[in-house]
Amino acid sequence: MTGDRDDPAGRDLEDYVRRYETMPFEPRQAAFRRRRVLQQVAARSPRRVLEIGCGLAPLFTDLPGTHCVVVEPSPVFVEAARRLVGGREDVLVVQDFGERVTPDAVGGVFDVVVLSCLLHEVPDPGALLRAARALCGSAGVLHVNVPNARSLHRLLAVAMRLIPDVTAQSVTQRDMQQDRIYDAEALTRTVQGAGFDVIDAGSIFVKPFTHAQMQRLLDDGFLTPALLDGLDALALSSPELGSELWVDAVPSPA
């Protein structure tokens, strides 16, 4: 893929990459997201893992000895991922859109398929999920995570009358070309509609404020590592308030 508008929806991928690389607080948010993804992957003891959409930190760097395939459309992210492969022969990086990839193109089906922070960004979530289903083995597991419409910071924004409701598009969503946001019910419904059964679900990191505000508190020294870990732990007891939702799902019986 070349150019900045090869996305089927006409998204500007070069602009997306630029904004992603400079987004305040996202590195901290991504660290909590990654920790949860790796926990869910490890629970399955997979031999083969597929990651669709890897950003700047593909999972395979934390999965030694596991055969990993990355499918990523952005040339910038693909180049970064390939640099990280080093001499590993059990890692393949494919530049393409997940909706277009078939098992034959990536050496067969997988024990775990990961769609991390991606489903809310694509033009047709159902098409991506159906492609992921075809890439899951008969006992394979799909892991999906997305921003939570009912995150504490969005509920606070509604209470302050900054946005009319929790589904209103935020400035960050507009900047990142994201047209939808899910609550837990909508995420489950979407995943089930593509032929999966949800077997586990939760959330991560209760985020009281916007990314920009969280970054300011971090820079001021108010948000200590202990506080950040506490906010992530809070999502275990109050998953409805977490900033991001996740589900694990298996292909429904035919």
CATH number, domain of 183, equals 3.40.50.150
- pLDDT per residue as tens digits for the range 113-130: 999 999 998 989 999 999
Residue 1 lies in a domain: no
Helix (H) or strand (E) holding 75: helix 75-85
Smallest CA-to-CA distance from 245 within 40, 42, 24 is with 40
Residue 171 lies in a domain: yes
Residue 92 lies in a domain: yes
Residues 6+ apart with CB under 8 A from 9: 122, 123
Q: How much is the pLDDT for 109? A: 98
pTM for this one?
0.91
Count CB-CB contacts under 10 A for residue 74: 23
Residue 94 lies in a domain: yes
| Cβ burial 152-166 (10 Å sphere, 16+ → b, else e) | bbbbebeeeeeeeee
Residue 3 lies in a domain: no
Q: What is the DSSP letter of 252?
A: P
Q: How much is the pLDDT for 1? A: 31
Count CB-CB contacts under 10 A for residue 170: 18
> Do 2 and 96 touch, CB atoms closer than 8 A?
no
Residue 162 lies in a domain: yes
Strand order in the sheet with 110-116: 91-95, 67-72, 48-52, 110-116, 136-147, 244-251, 196-204
Number of domains in the chain: 1
Q: And the tokens for 247?
A: 């589900």
Measured between its terminal Cα atoms, the distance across the chain in Å is 35
Residue 4 lies in a domain: no
SS3 201: strand
Q: pLDDT below 70 — which residues of the chain?
A: 1-13, 15-17, 19-20, 171, 173-178
Residue 2 lies in a domain: no
Domain range for 61 is 13-251
Residue 153, strand partner residues:
none
Q: CA angle, corner 63, sides to 129 and 85, nearest 5?
A: 90
Distances (CA, A) of 200 to 94, 133, 181, 197, 253: 29, 17, 20, 9, 17
- pLDDT per residue as tens digits for the range 60-92: 999 999 999 999 999 999 999 999 999 999 999
> Do 206 and 234 touch, CB atoms closer than 8 A?
yes
Smallest CA-to-CA distance from 6 within 125, 145, 70, 99 is with 99
